[in-house]
């Protein structure tokens, strides 16, 4: 098994990036989480919804290692939408469960250098193989990427930003 220090560093980075996203959500209600503040369709709640589904999907890829997996555009319907029956608190609790599962996988995956088949999809139609490490880092990249989106949406919503909220 690859060194435990590397694994703990990966878990820590994931946890810290999730916390940055959570800071962006600090003090907003469910109505604000659904509010569009930019020209894009993205909302804070929709981004949270996506990150949960995204992290869950990639950990499934890591576990199943299905060489025939494929994703279609219709698999992404509702991806960036917080459902009418969903709440920020409920989604955050769900993300805690997903994050705990991810942490367990990072600590227990047999080999971080193992080659993992990724699903084919409309934007990358051929089969791509990533190391387990790269797949885990891809989850981190998704969270970081969308944290930037969330910060802009939040600033447009009420002027708050993650850096100032983190300091406060």
pLDDT digit string, tens, across residues 91-150 = 999 999 999 999 999 999 999 999 999 999 988 878 999 999 999 999 999 999 999 999
pLDDT at 48 over 50: yes
How many CA atoms lie less than 13 Å away from 134 in the CB half-sphere? 10
Round the average pLDDT of the chain to a whole number and report it: 94
pLDDT digit string, tens, across residues 51-61 = 999 999 999 99
Which structural domains are found in the chain, ordered by start? 4-167 (1.20.120.450)
CB 117 within 8 A of CB 69: yes
In the block, residue with structure tokens 């084919």: 120
pLDDT digit string, tens, across residues 74-86 = 988 899 999 999 9
């Amino acid at each position: 098994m690859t060194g435990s220090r590397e694994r703990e560093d990966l878990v820590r980075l994931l946890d810290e990036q999730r916390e940055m996203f959570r800071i962006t959500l600090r003090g907003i209600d469910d109505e604000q989480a659904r509010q569009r503040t930019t020209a894009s369709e993205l909302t804070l709640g929709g981004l949270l919804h996506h990150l949960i589904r995204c992290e869950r999907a990639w950990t499934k890829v890591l576990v199943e290692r299905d060489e025939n997996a494929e994703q279609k555009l219709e698999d992404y319907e509702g991806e960036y939408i917080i459902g009418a029956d969903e709440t920020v608190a409920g989604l955050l609790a769900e993300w805690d469960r997903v994050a705990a599962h991810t942490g367990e996988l990072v600590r227990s995956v047999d080999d971080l250098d193992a080659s993992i088949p990724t699903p084919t999809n409309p934007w990358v139609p051929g089969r791509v193989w990533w190391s387990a490490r790269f797949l885990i880092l891809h989850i981190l990249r998704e969270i970081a990427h969308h944290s930037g989106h969330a910060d802009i949406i939040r600033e447009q919503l009420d002027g708050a930003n993650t850096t100032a909220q983190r300091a406060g």
